[in-house]
Structure 1
Amino acid sequence: MIKISIRRTYRFQEIVNTFLKNGFSHVLFRLGITERRAAATMKNEPMDMNLQHIGQKLNRTLQELGPTFIKLGQIASTRRDLVPAEIIRELEKLQDHAEPFSFEEVQQIIEKELGKPLNDLFESFNDKPLATASIGQVHEAFLYTGEKVAVKVQRPDIRQTVDTDLSILKEIASLIENNTDWGKLYGVRSIINEFADSLLSELDYENEGRNAERIARQAKKDSSVYIPEIHWDLTSKKVLTMEMIEGIKSNDINTLDERGYDRKLLARRIVNSMFSQVLDHGFFHGDPHPGNIYIMPGNVISFIDFGMIGVMDDDLKLQFAKLIMELERGSTKGIIKVMDSMGILSDETNIKSLQKDLGMLKTKYYDVPLQNMSLGEIFMDLFGVAYRHQIKIPNEITVLGKTILTLEGLISKLDPAMSIMDGVEPFGKKLIKEYYSPSSLLKNAWESVSENAEILANIPRDFKDISTAAKKGKLKLDINLRQTSFILRRMDIISNRLAFSVILLAFSILMTGLIIGSAIAGENNMLLNLPVIEIGAIVAFLMFVFLLFSIFRSGRM
């Protein structure tokens, strides 16, 4: 416990000194991390408010602080809704390079993790790494079956370093949230917690292996995609052994051309595979840069390295598909409606100003042919608008935006004429069509009825609680008068819909009574030669259909 405390204190001081050295003393003082005299020692530090210069200094600082902070910077570079574009451009230059660690350490880690001598596990093992990063490095090896494999080995003591850094980052996040309006608005603590979960997941190689197998199951019926096999008997949390992919890097255009590969077909297959992962399954490769996509004989695509994964639930997939459709239509009102459905607009959001900025974005892409549009750039522009209006975009969408931007860079080299928009549009339309299919509508309607029935059942108890609180003088009202007309309009729609539902219910009960009464009395159901019950049933059904239509049209089940 004492060692942990000493290590943590030493690392905290190292972090503070690195930020001080690179010109962030006033920031540290403002956050309450350093005292005034520490900032005073840097009085000659230039107060440069140029965001690009700040980004350069931040890049240098994070690079010096090592893997945890490099990863943090790389993730921050995807958050254009949180960070100014000038700083992001500098953070995008962060490189995850590191010196290789020794073969003796590699052997020691493998033998400790897998419980056997290296020679018993592998027929041969190349002591020179194929690739090196801050978290681990990859070696080539052969099994006794003759199969060639790639063995990823985690850097010694990296987990200990990351744990210490994350605990410090969480404290700094608390200081930022407590001492700055920006920190409060965006909930910096929750952002750092998300980052911590993502990084710790990446440090678990068994988790990476499970990710690979899940992507493989998703692509099982697609013969144009191949995912390397995981050797679980040679895998642990710190060692990952997988089939070696013998292929060409997807951005090695000259070699692809020399060997007669169809680049247009490859581009289409990569795009189809990625958006199938995103919109069909909601589980996708989060870092599809050229080094993680190989081309195999027969124009087959192979993805590797599944440490970074994106996840989209059904609701977020639908909202993303709707957003794509609204972007294509150029509907600013539609985009705002989708944002509202995602729950990212607050009471403080100036809707008119937001609509104006989105209108300017629309003008930028007006008259641009669909095939010439960059979906990644559109998303980055959209995130920039979100930043100006202090709108926090869901992390899953920002990961997807960065993924699309990375993918577009590769696709533009394989097939300059292809547009990502062309590739995503069919998947979006298919998803929306499935959502509004009769079976899906009935399922959602039943879930809505169940939820509303529970709410109605709890109304007497809720009124009793309100009444009790009022009698005790403990009832508090928090009324925000911003956008009052919008709120009243929504309340009017809700009250009308509730009244319509009550009328429909009463009418249905009346019709049920008539049917039962006529059956008991043994009389026909004719009135003035008209089949009353049949007509009533049709009216009730039409009312029910109208109610469903109005609910689904609003996009709020």
Structure 2
Amino acid sequence: MQTLFIVISVVINTVLVAWTVRRLMGGPVGWPRIFVFSFIVALVANPLLLTTLEHTGIDDPSAPEHVWSTVAISVLFVAWVIAFEISILVVTEILVPTGSLPGPIEFVRGMPGWLRRARRFRQIFAIAARQGLIGYLGRSSSAVDRLNRPGTAIALRTALTEGGVTFIKLGQMLSTRPDLLPPAYMSELSQLHSQVPPDPWETVRQSLTAELGGPPEELFSEFDPEPLAAASLGQVHKATLTTGEDVVVKIQRPSADATVRADLDIIARLARLLEKRAAWARQLGAVDLAEGFGASLSEELDYRTELRNLAALEGTDGVVIPGAHRRFSTRRILTMDRIDGVPLSRAADQIDALSATEREDLTRTILEVVLRQILVDGVFHADLHGGNILLTPDGSFALLDFGSVGRLDRQARLGLRSLLIAIDRQDGAAATTALCHILIPPADLDLVTTQWLIGDLIMRIEGMPADVLFNDLLRAVVSAGFKVPSSIAAAFRCLGALEGTLSLLAPDMDVIATTRSIASSVFRESLSPGHSVRTGIEQAALVAPIAERAPAQLSSILGRLDRDNLGLSFSPLADPASRAVANHFAQVISLSVLTVVAAFSGIALVLSEEGPRWSDDLLMTTYIGMALLLIAYVIGSRLVIMTLQRGFQENTRTPAG
């Protein structure tokens, strides 16, 4: 009988509490937590009620003289219990909303992934501890000071190498961000590389068959089982199509996607942990950096992105861009034309065979192609190291590996042109103005100091290596509080890294001077009559819709002049947001008054020792006082819930600073 009573109590309590909590929260609340609370209440409520009745002098609740008093006390007791239960449920729902934690089924399903992630976390922390990097998780300023110790950069490079392919690529990305890291770190991280043996032919054959819908011997007339090159994410093979075209086929390793995505999840979690604990991580913007790196590496895993990049750069004058074969390209397979040639990084003999004039002309051609990609086309190859520029037998050059391509809109291109012209004229004020257009300046920018810093820098550029110039420029603007968009950082990185590549051809060429000369030429072309006419037509097309609406808008403005207050409403509550705020505070004030009145009235009645008695130990005034205190508790809880809900909504809407 007692078991049946508990079951009925749980069911009734669950339904009642669920309906009430959902009305209060304005949305669904998880059934498991409601059932658990209801079950606990059903177990403890009956003994507590009997104890309460005994304290009020009702030893035998079934006695005829105690029936009405027992019912009244029981009703008040149940109301208090339900009110208290609902309050706890609402607070837990606000703090831990339904769905924020996995349910039992999701928990069981996610257990293998959680265990794998836990093992990987343990490996990473073991590597960090072995390299002495755990201390940099501290909150103290001494952790920031230790970052500048000579051995820290070496320890970081070693730890990233031990971490595997994803962490190596993270280090390689960081080595290209002089706006984030000191030179010592960039120097060490630029040495990162992974040596991974190629996958066996049978594995490659299975990947090709699964991705292309048939075995390679049917789709290609020839396919070389020995790879031309092998990298951490994939490898490249020579092949010939059945139509006779010579191609190269880039095949992603089967394990690459799962490995990288698991490590990206680890990196994102580590970034959040670091930002919570370490000041240097917050200054670095570790979470944003991890998100950007994750997006970039995810794109690199999708070879269709590289296929689109090839199409975007196809037809670039002065350079050979390999054609792509969409029929034989998928998310994990990329087939391109095979181009005969030798990478500049391995073309010492071919370069020596060229005359000084030929080498200088070729160097200028490469630089001009890249600058036109950046300043005119807005789509540029962002990873031009010596291995990605191919010297062909006819003395021209080709570009390879289009996984990393930068994009600049028209305003960014105009700003970069202006910056290069200002550098050429050694005009610090104009250079600062151009930087304000292409970067994100701080709200409290000290313009005079910034102009002085930039002017001092560009006055010393004669003979300065391009990578040093752009690295120093980035550090100067970051120290002034600027934020550098990733596209601009990619353009600076491209121009800075290009000098090291071009030095293989013409070590004595002044890349900065040549860049300034080409930028001036591009700028003069933009001022030519034909270009000016095209720009004028484009601007007219943009302005035309505004001009069409102008007469109607002007008529509306003139019509308002004849109205009182120019037809304008100045009501402080005209805005829906203002009305919502006013309504919220009106509710808060009214509920606060009711809570105080009910609470003080209830306390006064409970403390009163006069009035009719319901039993030997219970006054009617005490009962009414407890009822008023219940009302005060309910209204006060509603007030607290409104405040918590509003605070959480504002925190959700407001971006993190």
TM-score when scaled to structure 1?
0.72
**Cα distance per residue 1:375-424 (max 9 Å; x no partner):** 33211110121233342211111111111122112222323335342333
Matched, 1:106 2:204: yes
What is aligned with 2:237? Answer: 139
**Given residue 130 of structure 1, which amino acid in structure 2 is its aligned partner?**
L
In structure 1, C-alpha distance between the alignment counterparts of 2:539 and 2:289, rounded to whole Å: 32
* Maintained 8 Å contact 1:83/1:387: no
Could you say if the C-alpha distance between residues 195 and 6 of structure 1 is closer, same or farther in structure 2, counting changes exceeding 3 Å? same
Unaligned ranges ≥5, structure 2: 1-108, 558-565, 583-657
* Maintained 8 Å contact 2:160/2:168: yes
- Cα drift, residue 297 of structure 1: 3.5
**Cα distance per residue 1:328-355 (max 9 Å; x no partner):** 1222222221222235211243334333
How many positions carry a matched residue from both structures?
A: 454
**Given residue 335 of structure 1, which amino acid in structure 2 is its aligned partner?**
A
What is aligned with 1:555? Answer: none
Pairing 1:2-401 to 2, within 5 Å after superposition: 2=110, 3-30=112-139, 48-180=146-278, 183-184=281-282, 187-217=285-315, 219=316, 222=317, 224-251=318-345, 252-258=347-353, 262-342=358-438, 344-365=440-461, 368=462, 372-401=463-492
SS of the equivalent of 2:236 reads strand
SS of the equivalent of 1:128 reads coil
**Given residue 381 of structure 1, which amino acid in structure 2 is its aligned partner?**
D
Matched, 1:424 2:516: no
* Maintained 8 Å contact 2:439/2:482: no
Could you say if the C-alpha distance between residues 128 and 298 of structure 1 is closer, same or farther in structure 2, counting changes exceeding 3 Å? closer
% same residue: 30
- Cα drift, residue 123 of structure 1: 3.1
**Given residue 332 of structure 2, which amino acid in structure 1 is its aligned partner?**
K
Could you say if the C-alpha distance between residues 233 and 29 of structure 1 is closer, same or farther in structure 2, counting changes exceeding 3 Å? same
* Maintained 8 Å contact 2:439/2:483: no
In structure 1, C-alpha distance between the alignment counterparts of 2:509 and 2:282, rounded to whole Å: 44
In structure 2, C-alpha distance between the alignment counterparts of 1:295 and 1:377, rounded to whole Å: 26
Could you say if the C-alpha distance between residues 428 and 175 of structure 1 is closer, same or farther in structure 2, counting changes exceeding 3 Å? farther
**Given residue 435 of structure 2, which amino acid in structure 1 is its aligned partner?**
M
Could you say if the C-alpha distance between residues 424 and 363 of structure 1 is closer, same or farther in structure 2, counting changes exceeding 3 Å? closer
SS of the equivalent of 2:503 reads helix
Could you say if the C-alpha distance between residues 259 and 334 of structure 1 is closer, same or farther in structure 2, counting changes exceeding 3 Å? closer
SS of the equivalent of 1:159 reads helix
Could you say if the C-alpha distance between residues 471 and 417 of structure 1 is closer, same or farther in structure 2, counting changes exceeding 3 Å? closer
Could you say if the C-alpha distance between residues 384 and 9 of structure 1 is closer, same or farther in structure 2, counting changes exceeding 3 Å? same
* Maintained 8 Å contact 1:55/1:86: yes
In structure 2, C-alpha distance between the alignment counterparts of 1:129 and 1:401, rounded to whole Å: 34
CA RMSD of aligned residues (A): 3.5
* Maintained 8 Å contact 2:138/2:278: no
- Cα drift, residue 447 of structure 1: 4.3
Matched, 1:407 2:491: no
In structure 2, C-alpha distance between the alignment counterparts of 1:25 and 1:331, rounded to whole Å: 46
Could you say if the C-alpha distance between residues 257 and 186 of structure 1 is closer, same or farther in structure 2, counting changes exceeding 3 Å? closer
* Maintained 8 Å contact 1:154/1:238: yes
* Maintained 8 Å contact 1:318/1:431: no
In structure 2, C-alpha distance between the alignment counterparts of 1:231 and 1:461, rounded to whole Å: 64
* Maintained 8 Å contact 1:51/1:87: no
Deviates more, 1:239-248 or 1:175-184: 175-184
Higher relative contact order (CA 8 A, sep 6+): 1
Unaligned ranges ≥5, structure 1: 32-44, 476-557
SS of the equivalent of 1:123 reads strand
* Maintained 8 Å contact 2:389/2:399: yes
**Given residue 67 of structure 1, which amino acid in structure 2 is its aligned partner?**
V
In structure 2, C-alpha distance between the alignment counterparts of 1:280 and 1:136, rounded to whole Å: 33
What is aligned with 2:593? Answer: none
- Cα drift, residue 148 of structure 1: 2.9
* Maintained 8 Å contact 1:269/1:301: no
- Cα drift, residue 116 of structure 1: 1.0
Could you say if the C-alpha distance between residues 148 and 340 of structure 1 is closer, same or farther in structure 2, counting changes exceeding 3 Å? closer
In structure 2, C-alpha distance between the alignment counterparts of 1:59 and 1:471, rounded to whole Å: 54
**Cα distance per residue 1:263-305 (max 9 Å; x no partner):** 2222122112212221221111111112111122432221111
Could you say if the C-alpha distance between residues 63 and 473 of structure 1 is closer, same or farther in structure 2, counting changes exceeding 3 Å? same
**Given residue 172 of structure 1, which amino acid in structure 2 is its aligned partner?**
L
In structure 2, C-alpha distance between the alignment counterparts of 1:462 and 1:344, rounded to whole Å: 36
- Cα drift, residue 254 of structure 1: 2.2
- Cα drift, residue 317 of structure 1: 0.7
**Cα distance per residue 1:36-84 (max 9 Å; x no partner):** xxxxxxxxx9x95534422111111111112222222122122212222
**Given residue 202 of structure 1, which amino acid in structure 2 is its aligned partner?**
E
Q: Find the structure with the greater CA-based Rg.
A: 2
In structure 2, C-alpha distance between the alignment counterparts of 1:151 and 1:302, rounded to whole Å: 17
**Cα distance per residue 1:425-468 (max 9 Å; x no partner):** 322443476899365357547746967979x8999999758664
In structure 1, C-alpha distance between the alignment counterparts of 2:401 and 2:122, rounded to whole Å: 34
TM-score when scaled to structure 2?
0.62
Deviates more, 1:461-470 or 1:235-244: 461-470
In structure 1, C-alpha distance between the alignment counterparts of 2:273 and 2:567, rounded to whole Å: 41
In structure 2, C-alpha distance between the alignment counterparts of 1:397 and 1:61, rounded to whole Å: 29
Could you say if the C-alpha distance between residues 442 and 243 of structure 1 is closer, same or farther in structure 2, counting changes exceeding 3 Å? closer
Could you say if the C-alpha distance between residues 343 and 296 of structure 1 is closer, same or farther in structure 2, counting changes exceeding 3 Å? closer
Could you say if the C-alpha distance between residues 225 and 190 of structure 1 is closer, same or farther in structure 2, counting changes exceeding 3 Å? same
In structure 2, C-alpha distance between the alignment counterparts of 1:50 and 1:175, rounded to whole Å: 21
In structure 2, C-alpha distance between the alignment counterparts of 1:295 and 1:462, rounded to whole Å: 70
**Cα distance per residue 1:65-114 (max 9 Å; x no partner):** 12222222122122212222222221122124322222222112111111
- Cα drift, residue 159 of structure 1: 0.8
**Given residue 289 of structure 2, which amino acid in structure 1 is its aligned partner?**
I
* Maintained 8 Å contact 1:67/1:96: yes
- Cα drift, residue 238 of structure 1: 1.0
* Maintained 8 Å contact 1:84/1:387: no
In structure 2, C-alpha distance between the alignment counterparts of 1:118 and 1:465, rounded to whole Å: 74
SS of the equivalent of 1:413 reads coil
SS of the equivalent of 2:411 reads helix
In structure 2, C-alpha distance between the alignment counterparts of 1:463 and 1:168, rounded to whole Å: 54
Could you say if the C-alpha distance between residues 206 and 362 of structure 1 is closer, same or farther in structure 2, counting changes exceeding 3 Å? closer
In structure 1, C-alpha distance between the alignment counterparts of 2:292 and 2:527, rounded to whole Å: 29
SS of the equivalent of 1:149 reads strand
Could you say if the C-alpha distance between residues 237 and 172 of structure 1 is closer, same or farther in structure 2, counting changes exceeding 3 Å? same
